[in-house]
Each structure stands twice: as structure tokens, then as C-alpha cells.
Amino acid sequence: IYVFQGGGKMVCMESLDPKRVWTIQYGTILLTAGVLLLGSALSCPIKCECSNREGFLLCDHKRLTTVPTGVPPETKNLDLSNNRIKNLNPDEFSSLWHLEELDLSENIISNIEPGAFNNLLNLQTLKLRRNKLRIIPAGVFAGLLNLTILDISENEIVVFLDHAFKDLLNLRTLDAGDNQLVFVSRQAFRGLQSLQQLTLEKCNLTNIPSEALSYLQNLVILRFKRLNINSVPRNTFKGLDRLRILEIDQCPSLDNLVPNSFFGLNLTSLSITGCNLSSIPFESLKHLVYLQYLDLSYNPITVVHEKMLSDLLRLQEFHLVGGKLVSIAPSAFKGLSSFRLLNVSSNILRTLEESAFHSVGNLETLRLDGNPLACDCRLLWLIRRKRRLNFDGQQPACATPLEVQGKQFKDFSDVLSPKDFTCEKSRILNKRYQRVIVKEGNTVTFTCSGVGNPTPTISWVSPKQTIINSNTKGRIRILPDEGLEIRYAQIQDGGTYSCTASNAAGNDSVSIQLEVKGYTPVYINRTLQLSPAQPTPYSTNTSMSSRFFPLDTMTLMIAMSMGSVCFFSSVSICFFFIFCLSRGKGNIKHNAQIEFVPRPPSINNPAENVEDAKFTMKLI
């Protein structure tokens, strides 16, 4: 090894003293380290730190009030978050043409001058989260032709003006949530032809800006969270053919969806959570034939009705967590051959029958935890499949009967006790034959109660073999205690009514015969008498001509007396007015003189005298 010595001479190190060799090596190391430290000091502005990763400059949490000077032009990632920067001037970053990511989050920026981001042709991510921006003037984002991600959330923006984002031709993701937004102009999103993901969260919007959204024809993901909207009008999302994921979250005023709210969409995922829906909006969902994921959690929904989801042929997951669900009807998921996951945890379900599913063999994950489950024969199918079914780490537990209260499904052995998961067949109390007679126009009430395990449901069938349920409107209705009430009974209401008590173990029924008495006219000695007719409980085709009104003799006499008084009073009043009129015409002439044309004399007696053509008539 050779080294240079004074005078330009090269000396072999082997000929040097070992101590001198060590001194030379140590000096070389110190010189190299000094050069590196000096280079590092020169490349990092004051109060900033150079990251170990190439091109990263960290200036966060430094209490900077302006953008630091001396930032190396080769910087690719500049972090200026958590400072006190208030304004961004024109050409603030114009020398950083290599910059790919700029983080200005958590400052106090209230004003961005147009042209502040000039020459940032390679910038892909811009973060302006949690600042003091109140408005975005047109031209603020000029020069950001390749920007793909923009975060302006948690500011104080109140309005999006027309063409506010027109320069962001390649923007893919826009997060504008948690602002004070009250209005979105019709052309605010014009120019965002490549936008795929939009988030509007915690704003003061009272309706969905459907006209502004119509410009986002390539939108794939749309999120509305914590808004004051109370409806989703039909055709709100018209033109968003490529939208696949729609999330509406924490909108407590939203309590109903009209049909065709999502008409024209090809969604694969829909979430309407934390709202005030009291029922599943089947009419609004039935058009979503490509839907695979449906989340209606944290809504006060009580029932999943039978076969109402059958149009969603591709549905794989259904979530309804934290609601008020009390019942999932048999065949609720009938026809959904791709159904894989059901999450109904934290509701008030007492059971889930196997018949609710198209095929339990396709079911992979089931969440039933947090429900007061009744461990009877209706849940026996779950015990048999507990080793193949995934409960997602949350085991269901029994609430009743008392013998197994709190016991988790995994704690039951594969060979069950004869007392576990059993049912008792329905049985109607007081099952004796009943025959009820009622007068026409009165109200009659039937009672029917049953016992069993689980508690049976009561249903009624009319004499015409039609089912009477709680939705039946009219004179015949189901009472809250499951009795039957017939108001203002008529002849055609007569017949045999059937009451059935049913549960998972079996049915029991009883019949009740109703007879409605009417009235028929009877003439005795030419006097009309009204008497009850013979009961005709089975006659339901009685014509109106054979019906009568229940009037007695006293009623007829009173009616005739009142009619006579009215007639004579009217005649008396007429004569009184005639009398008064005649007295008001002056004196009455008793004589009248009448002129007439006399008859010509006859031919036989031409000399006949012609009297005057007048005569006087006396009025009597």
C-alpha cells in the first residue's frame, strides 16, 4: 500500500513506522466522517432533519411560521406538518420539481395564493388536513397535473365553488370530510374526470349534491358520513354507472328511502349505518342485482321479512349489528345461493331457524352473540354445525331456559342431554266448542290463548278461508292480546272462525261459530210489527232488499207527529204572508166596467137596435 508524502513523493506503508501508519488511517477516517457531516449539514435546512430514506426531509413539529428556505431540489417527500404556517405564497415550492409528496397537515393555513404549487409536475400526494381553509378559489391547484391524492378534510370550508378542482385532471382520491360545508355548486367537481374516490364527512349538507356528482362518471367509491340529509330522492346517483361502493353513515335524520333511490347503479357494496331506518328498504334495493355486501347496522330495524331479499342473487354478506331485530322470518334468505356471512350480533333475537337460509351448507360465518337466545329445538341445527361454522371468535350464549342460562354453545357436548334444546308442542287452552250469538250492529270479541315451548303464535282464519292478521284493516281486526274483534256485526259475518296456535313443535286449533241475528217485518191486523228474525249464521248472500230497519211503533208515531206539525206550520205561514200582501195593495173596487165588441145585427132583423158595447159587473 502506497501513500503520498510531502513533496509529492509516494512512500510504501510497509516501510513506515506502525504508529505512523495507524495515525494516517485514523486521520483518513476522521476526514471522511467530517466530509459526510458537512455534506449533511449543508443539505438539511435549519430546524429540519434528513431521514435515512433518500429524498425524505422532515420538518414537522418545529414551530415553523413559513416554508423553510434551502430545501434541496432533489427532495421527494417534504413533511411540514404540525407547524404554524399561515399563508402559502405564489411559487412557494417552484424549485422542488422532484417533489412527489407534500404534507402540510395541522398548520393554521387560511390562505393559499393561486400559483403556490407551480412547477410541482411530479407531485402525487398533497395533504392539507386540519387547517383553517374557508374557501378554495379557482386556480389554487394550478400546475398539479399529476396529483392523485388530495386531503382537505377537517378544515372550515363552507362552499365548493364552480371549477374549484378543474386543474386536477388526474386526481384519483379526494377527502373533503369534516368541514362546515353547506353548499356544493353545480359545477364544483367539473374537471375531475379521473376521480375514483370521494369522501364528504361531517358536513352541514341537508341534501345530496346530485348535479355536482353527475360530473364524476369514473367514481368508484363514494362516502357520505355524518350529514343532515333526511332523504335520498329517486335517481340521485344518475350517471354514476361505475360506482361500486356507497357508504351512508351516521345520518340520524334519514328514516326512509323511496323506491328507485339507487336505480341505475351497479353497486357491489352498500352500507347505510347509524341512520333511522325502521325497516329494510326492499323496494330501493331490489334493483341492485350485483350487490355482494349489505350493511344496515345501527338502525332500529325489527324484522327481516320472508323472501324480500330474493332479488339480490349475488349477495354474500349481510350485516345488521346493534339494531332492534326481533325476528328473521323463515325463507328470509331464500334463493341467495352465494350467501356466506350473516352478522346480527347485539340485537334482541331469541332464535334463528334453519329454514331462513337457502342452504345452511353454504353458510360459513354467523355472528349471533349479544342476543337473548332461547336454546330450544329451533337452535338445535346450530349445535350440530358448531364445529364447521365460524362464529368469528364470539360464541353465542343461551339466555333461556334457566338451566343453561349463560352457557356458550362451545360448552355443549356433542351428545346432548334429553332436556337440552327441546320444544313443547302448542296447546290451546279452553278448547271446548264455542257458539256465539250476537245481534246485528253490535260488537263481538273472540279470545284464543295457547301454551307451549317456545310460546306459540296465534293466527285466525275467517269463514271465507282468508287469513286475518295484524295488517288487516276494516271492522275485523286482531287485538294486541291476539284476540279477534268484529265491530258492527253484519249478517254476512256469520260462520265458523278458526284459531290456530303454532310453534316449532306443532300446531293446535279450535273453531268458533258466530251467529248474527237480524230483524224481519211482520204484519198483524194491518199493523206493522218488528220482530227478530231467525238466526242465519251460515247465510252470507242475504240481499239488501230483505233487510229492514229496527223501528218500533212509538218511533213511527213521533215521526208522524213531527211531520204534521211541520206541514201545518208551513201552511199557516203562507196564508199569513198572502194576507199581509193583500192589505198592502190599497182599497178594493167592488164594481168593474168591461168593454166588449158587440155582435153585428142579424140578417133577418136588420133593424135590431145595437146597444152600447158596455156592461157593468159587480164583484161579490
**Res 33: pLDDT:** 40
pLDDT digits (tens, 9 = 90+) for 185-215: 999 999 999 999 999 988 888 899 999 999 9
| 180-218: burial string, b at 16+ Cβ within 10 Å, e else | ebeebbebbbbbbeebbbbbbbebebeebbbebbebbee
Nearest Cα to Cα of residue 165 among 132, 199, 188 = 188
Count how many Cα atoms sit within 13 Å of the Cα of residue 337 in the half-sphere of its side chain: 0
Q: H-helix or E-strand containing 506?
A: strand 506-517
Mean pLDDT for 84-98 is 93
- Specify the higher pLDDT residue, 543 or 366: 366
pLDDT digits (tens, 9 = 90+) for 39-84: 444 468 878 888 777 889 999 999 999 999 889 989 999 999 999 9
Q: Which residues contact 32 (CB under 8 A, 6 or more apart)?
A: none
What letter does residue 610 receive in the DSSP assignment?
P
Q: Which residues contact 552 (CB under 8 A, 6 or more apart)?
A: 530
Backbone φ and ψ for 341, nearest 5 degrees, come out as -140, 135
Residue 408 identity: Q
**Res 535: pLDDT:** 45
**Which residues sit opposite 221 in a β-bridge?**
197, 245
Largest CA distance in the chain: 202
Q: H-helix or E-strand containing 255?
A: none
pLDDT band at 295 (very low <50, low <70, confident <90, very high): very high
**Res 272: pLDDT:** 97
pLDDT at 526 over 60: no
pLDDT at 137 over 80: yes
Nearest Cα to Cα of residue 195 among 171, 163, 225 = 171
Percent of the chain at pLDDT exceeding 90: 61
Distance CA 544, CA 431 (A): 36
Other beta carbons less than 10 A from residue 339's beta carbon: 23
Q: H-helix or E-strand containing 435?
A: strand 434-439
Q: Which residues contact 418 (CB under 8 A, 6 or more apart)?
A: none
Distance CA 199, CA 186 (A): 17
Comparing 19-33, 182-196, 459-473, the range with the smallest average pLDDT is: 19-33
Distance of CA 98 to the CA centre of its chain: 48
**Res 110: pLDDT:** 94
Overall pTM > 0.85: no
Residues 55, 59, 63: CA angle, nearest 5 degrees: 170
pLDDT digits (tens, 9 = 90+) for 314-365: 999 999 999 999 999 999 999 999 999 999 999 999 999 999 999 888 999 9
pLDDT at 550 over 70: no
pLDDT digits (tens, 9 = 90+) for 479-494: 988 899 999 999 999 9
Mean pLDDT (the chain) is: 83
**Res 2: pLDDT:** 41
pLDDT band at 589 (very low <50, low <70, confident <90, very high): low
Q: Where are the alpha helices (DSSP H) in 281-424?
A: 282-285, 380-384
pLDDT at 27 over 70: no
Comparing 27-36, 295-304, 419-428, the range with the smallest average pLDDT is: 27-36
pLDDT digits (tens, 9 = 90+) for 267-288: 999 999 999 999 999 999 999 9
**Res 414: pLDDT:** 84
8 A C-beta contact, residue 389 and residue 364:
yes
**Res 595: pLDDT:** 54
Nearest Cα to Cα of residue 539 among 476, 497, 492, 489 = 492
**Res 289: pLDDT:** 94
Other beta carbons less than 10 A from residue 58's beta carbon: 18
**Res 1: pLDDT:** 40
**Res 43: pLDDT:** 63
Percent of the chain at pLDDT exceeding 70: 81
Is 219 exposed, middle or buried, given 0-12, 13-18 or 19+ CB atoms closer than 10 A? buried
Mean pLDDT for 536-542 is 39
pLDDT at 442 over 50: yes
Residues 182, 187, 193: CA angle, nearest 5 degrees: 120
Cis peptide before 300 (omega within 30 of 0): no
Comparing 79-83, 236-240, 264-268, 518-522, the range with the smallest average pLDDT is: 518-522
Other beta carbons less than 10 A from residue 500's beta carbon: 19
Q: Which residues contact 37 (CB under 8 A, 6 or more apart)?
A: none
pLDDT at 596 over 80: no
8 A C-beta contact, residue 124 and residue 146:
yes
Distance CA 299, CA 256 (A): 11
**Res 545: pLDDT:** 38
What letter does residue 397 receive in the DSSP assignment?
B
Distance of CA 449 to the CA centre of its chain: 36
Residue 444 identity: V
pLDDT band at 527 (very low <50, low <70, confident <90, very high): low
Size of the chain, expressed as the number of residues it contains: 620
